[in-house]
Every structure is written in structure tokens, then in C-alpha cells.
Amino acid sequence: MADDVDEKGSTYTVGCRLDKLLPNAQHIDAIRAAVERMQRVMIDTCDLMNLYIRDRLRNHEGSGLEHVFERNWLLYAMNEVTAGSDRATHLPALTSVRVAHMGGLVRSPRASLRQLMSNQRTNLAAVASTNIWLHFRARLVRVVTTAMRLPKEEYDALSTEERKERAIQIRSIAVDIIRPAGAAYKSSEQYHAVVDARRNILGIDEAVGEWGEYPFLYHIKSHPERFLRATWLLSRERETQLDRHGNTCSGFALFPLRRHMVPRHVDFCQEALREVLRLGSSEYAKKSARAKRGRP
């Protein structure tokens, strides 16, 4: 363990090729195959979740989105894009979306991936909720900035101070759109009608519910699922906007998308490793199970 401890006594991780860590070639092949399958499952799960969320917003008034950022609920999505035991629980709403929009999907076998899927759901739930709350304000600023962009001739005619003041006002508009109910405006009075209109369209107060004494960030971090509709509306508007070069802007992902098979991170624990390598339960797990049953 001495090699794993730095001068301050803290442990650290050293990167190492898998074939240097494990001498058994069969174990290496099994782990690599599991990682590849797990990555395929994650890609398909993210695609399905994006389609599902958009379908619920477009056709079902946003119902059925209450639990989409919960790790246990994400098991339903993973079950939908994988093949295995019929004992797996499926949600009809997810099944209908998969059948309608993912007809060519080849469902990956989930054999020996139970624990890996459990580990990855925890990570996916955190990343998915972060995608909503962390980027919401920046996305709002981007949409408002583009919507209020001046023609090039008018913008070039502004002085440096006028450009700075305009930039401040645009950001103030974005801040006002998500300010707590009853709070003072930060933007100039001439923009208050724009602020109120956008605030109503996005349904900020409806999504928050009771503001209490907390700022917008607290509410969106606590319940990111309530702001999926607002993010979707921003995305739709963004897709109608043009950048400075006249190209159509890209929308925003409502759920993180993965587009390649290069794994960023697959969380192996002892239980997942034993499952993938088909080693059975550890002696400790067997002993604990016997103790629960009252056996020596």
C-alpha cells in the first residue's frame, strides 16, 4: 500500500491498462465485453429518455415526468432498451415511445449487467438533473440575447458604453425572468413587459409553486423535473433562431445524449465484477446471508 500513499498520507489512483492488471485473458475479454454492452445500454437509454420526455411534453401536457431523474425509475428505461428475463418490469408509456421511434433498435442482453446497471443509474440520474438546473440560466441568456440581437448596422453604430449597457440589460432581463415572485426588477422599466411575457410563457411561477424565502436556483435544483417544460420551450425557440452567420441554432438536450461508444466511466464494484466474471457471491456475502436466515 506504500506506493498508493502520497507524502501527505492520502491515497490516490494510478491509471493502468487492464491487460497489465489482470493476467487472465478470459477475464479481460469478459470485462471489455461488459463495458461495451453497458455503453450501448447507456446510449440507447439516453436516446429513449429524450424521446420519452419530448413525447410527454408534446402530447401529454407534461404528465408522467415526476420521476424521470430518480435512479430507481431509470431502471424502467434500461429494461426497455435491453433484452433478458421476462420478470423485468416495463412501463407501457416507455414501450410505446420505443416502438414508435426506435423501431430499428437492437436490444442489448442485460445478462450479468444487473449491478453495473444499478451503478450507472446513480451516475445517470445525477448527470441528467444537473443538465437541467446547471445550464438553465445560461440557456435562457443565450435565447434572450439572440432574440434581442440588433441588425449589424445598428449595433455597429453604438458606442462602447452603449454596448456594455445593452449587454447588462439583456442579462438583467434573464435574471428578472427567473426572479422570485414579488422581487424588484433589475432591468429597465421599458423591458418589464417583455420579462413578464416570457416569464408567463415559461411558466416559472407555476413550476416553482411556493417560492418561500428561497432563490430560483434552490427550486430548480430541488425539483429539476418541474422545469423540463421551460427548458423544452427554450429549446424550441432556440431551434428557430439564427446565429450571426445565418445558420439555424441547435436546441438543448432535455436529457444527456451520448453519441459514441468510447466509455467515459463505468463504475465497477466488487459485486459487479463478480457478476460479470461469473464468480458467484463472495464468502462474506454468503456468510451475511446465512446470518440473516439464522444459520451458522
**pLDDT tens track for 206-219:** 999 999 999 999 99
Separation between Cα atoms, residue 281 and residue 238, nearest integer Å = 51
pLDDT at 265 over 80: no
Instruction: DSSP letter for 245, please.
Output: T
Check residue 89 and give its pLDDT.
86
Contact of 253 with 50, CB cutoff 8 Å: yes
Separation between Cα atoms, residue 235 and residue 243, nearest integer Å = 14
- CB-side neighbour CA atoms (13 Å) of 185: 14
Contact of 37 with 113, CB cutoff 8 Å: yes
Cell of 274: 463478480
pLDDT at 6 over 70: no
CA-angle at 188, arms to 182 and 191, nearest 5°: 80
Q: What is the tens place of the pLDDT at every residue in 217-242?
A: 999 999 999 999 999 999 999 999 99
Mean pLDDT of 170-181: 96
* Domain range summary for the chain, segments of one domain joined by +: 18-131+258-292, 136-238
CB atoms closer than 10 angstroms to residue 103: 7
Contact of 74 with 124, CB cutoff 8 Å: yes
Question: CB under 8 Å to 35, separation ≥6 — which residues?
Answer: 263, 266
pLDDT at 1 over 60: no
Contact of 262 with 36, CB cutoff 8 Å: no
Contact of 140 with 174, CB cutoff 8 Å: yes
pLDDT at 132 over 50: yes
Position with higher pLDDT, 214 vs 6: 214
Instruction: Give the whole-number percent of the chain exceeding pLDDT 90.
Output: 66
pLDDT at 3 over 70: no
Separation between Cα atoms, residue 155 and residue 148, nearest integer Å = 11
CB atoms closer than 10 angstroms to residue 244: 8
Contact of 48 with 102, CB cutoff 8 Å: yes
Check residue 259 and give its pLDDT.
74
Check residue 146 and give its pLDDT.
95
Q: What is the tens place of the pLDDT at every residue in 70-109?
A: 999 999 999 999 998 767 888 999 999 999 999 999 999 9
The helix (run of H) or strand (run of E) holding residue 108 is strand 108-109
Top-confidence range, 199-203, 280-284, 289-293: 199-203
Mean pLDDT of 186-205: 96
